[in-house]
Amino acid sequence: MDLKNLRFAESHEWIAPDGTVGISDHAQKEITDAVFVELPKAGRVVAGKESCAVVESVKAAFDIYAPVAGAIAAVNGAVVKNPAALNQSPYETGWLFKIAMTNAADRDKLMTHEQYQEFVKIHKH
Amino acid sequence: MPVQFEGILAEHRAVRERAGLFDISHMGQIWVMGAGARATLQKLVTNDVGSLAPGRGMYALLCREDGGVVDDLYVYALEPDRFLVIANASRAAVDFEWIKARRGPGTDLVEQPQAAAVALQGPLAETIMSVISGEAVSLSKNGVGEFQVMDMECVIARTGYTGEDGFEIFAPAGHLMGIHDALLKKGAPMGLALCGLGARDTLRLEMGYRLYGQDLDEGHSPLDAGLEWAVKWDKGDFIGRGALRRQKEEGLRRRLIALRLADRGVPRHGSEMIAGGKTVGVLSSGTYSPSLSIGIGLGYADYELFPKSLETAPMAVRVHGRDIPAQMVPLPFYRKRK
């Protein structure tokens, strides 16, 4: 996945032009080893910033938010079976679900990778 | 000690399969010495320190008069009248004052200055240990001694908090650094991993070892916690004995139970335990078990809400509002394959 094509939400999800959603490399490091992933059902309609998935690590549970509004078009069953993929490959095999966006322009309002990296730097606790 | 180095799962696996090195300098180290030391400890803790031979260590509980647990300790006898007491970090200062106020005559109490310690744990621990002390590897389980390591004397015990074979090495901070580095240098090529608090917690919980502040506190007794094996009724009087005796005679009001989840989800401290559709208590500890690849937890269940008759009822743990089926199991959760 070319990071230049991705857009990032402040809640650390990325979304590709085709609506594929995952979490950033920064987020997977914060979450630490993922042990369970719970994904929404295909067909579910979600609002932007709606919590729709959960990633559990040994440390804690993390809500994953839909970066834009739309309908869940597909989910990554492979990452449910092998949550480690989320840590090993957050931008490729560790993707979570795909959204059929209600309005593709919503995506353009999110941060570029460059902007996101700046954002992470500023918001580092 | 950080929560993790490489990652909790990798560190956990290293300890179960090879070896891990934990900085446990946060633990309190209290020396109890003098002609009255043994009698003092015998009066203060639940286990039979009177029978503790020099060169041996034992787990024991420090109790209040009402049976509540002040701390859980490891007591090592180095000599007939010289003991090293290992206390939980959060309780070390409380323990020190507790013991000091109740010590018998002829008992000196000294906090180890610059206390530092490491735990080397795992099936390869002995091999790795042999580089810094060929003598310490002859210790048997729960054995303890003072050994010359890299030109200085330190206390080494064959104990730990992981369920694996291993050693705990106690020495002043400056010296311990060298020991730590020597162990790491020898061990790293064999797969020795630096381990953090995260793996320490998953390892201990797989064994069902209680953690003070979560599974033990002043509001629960050793009997509530299922630790009667460390309470020696026949050793003579000790602080809390009367209250514990009464609890035993009148019947306990609650007990610590162990639950193993049957489905995905990670139970946490505070998660509700459900039996027969009703909440019967909350988890005092919960985690994902890396060895079993499933959630596990300990929690106190009231006998009133959870009588023996309910033990066969379907159980669950509520995680994010979802009831995940669970089974009550005997401890430990994890047993090493022989």
Question: What is the domain partition of chain B in residue ranges?
Answer: 19-190, 208-220+253-338
- B198 to chain A: closest CA residue: A59
pLDDT at A125: 52
The pLDDT profile of chain A, 125 residues, written as one tens digit per residue, is: 789 999 999 999 999 999 999 999 999 999 999 999 999 999 999 999 999 999 999 988 999 999 999 999 999 999 999 999 999 999 999 999 999 999 999 999 999 999 999 999 998 75
Of B198, B202, B320, the CB nearest to A61: B320
Residues of B numbered 273-302 whose beta carbons fall under 8 angstroms of chain A's beta carbons: which are they? 287-288, 290, 293
**CATH entry, B208-220+253-338, from 2.40.30.110, 3.40.605.10, 3.40.50.300, 2.102.10.10:** 2.40.30.110
pLDDT at A123: 84
What DSSP assignment string belongs to B158-192? Answer: S--SSSSSEEEEEEEHHHHHHHHHHHHHHHGGGTE
3 state DSSP class of B328? strand
Whether domain A3-103 has CATH 1.10.238.10 = no
pLDDT at B281: 96
What's the whole-number mean pLDDT along residues B217-245? Answer: 98
pLDDT at B3: 83
What's the whole-number mean pLDDT along residues B244-269? Answer: 96
pLDDT band at B309 (very low <50, low <70, confident <90, very high): confident
A76-89 as b/e: b if 16+ CB within 10 A: beebeeebebbbeb
| The two three-digit tokens of residue B49, written as one number | 């320190």
Is B2 near chain A, with CB under 8 Å? Answer: no
Is B3 near chain A, with CB under 8 Å? Answer: yes
Give B-chain residues touching A57 at CB under 8 angstroms. 8, 266, 288
Residues of B numbered 309-328 whose beta carbons fall under 8 angstroms of chain A's beta carbons: which are they? 319-320
User: Which candidate in B8, B291, B296 is best for mutational testing of the A interface (most A CBs within 10 A)?
Assistant: B8
- B295 to chain A: closest CA residue: A58
Q: How many residues are listed for chain B in this entry?
A: 338
* pLDDT per position as a tens digit, B197-215: 999 999 999 999 999 999 9
Whether pLDDT at B18 is above 90: yes
**Between the CA atoms of A48, A53, A56 and A59, what dihedral angle is there, to the nearest 10 degrees?**
20
Candidates A94, A86, A37; CA nearest to B7 is A86
Type of residue at B299: G
* Helix, strand and coil percent figures for chain A, each rounded to 5: 25, 30, 40
| The two three-digit tokens of residue B274, written as one number | 């459900």
Give A-chain residues touching B290 at CB under 8 angstroms. 58
Mean pLDDT of chain B: 96
User: Which candidate in A52, A58, A87 is best for mutational testing of the B interface (most B CBs within 10 A)?
Assistant: A58
Question: CATH class for domain B19-190?
Answer: alpha beta
Which residue carries 């594929």 as its tokens? A20
CB contact under 8 A, B287 and A58: yes
Delimit the domains of chain A by residue range. 3-103
B70 versus B312: which is more confidently predicted?
A: B70
Which residue carries 């959960």 as its tokens? A54
Is B197 near chain A, with CB under 8 Å? Answer: no
The Cα–Cα gap between A41 and A72 comes to 7
DSSP summary character for residue B143: B
What is the model's pTM? 0.93
* pLDDT per position as a tens digit, B106-144: 999 999 989 999 999 999 999 999 999 999 999 999 999
What is the phi/psi pair of residue A52, to 5°?
Answer: -140, 0
pLDDT band at B338 (very low <50, low <70, confident <90, very high): low
| The two three-digit tokens of residue B130, written as one number | 């042999």
| The two three-digit tokens of residue B65, written as one number | 């008069």
ipTM reported for the complex surpasses 0.85: no
Whether pLDDT at B62 is above 60: yes
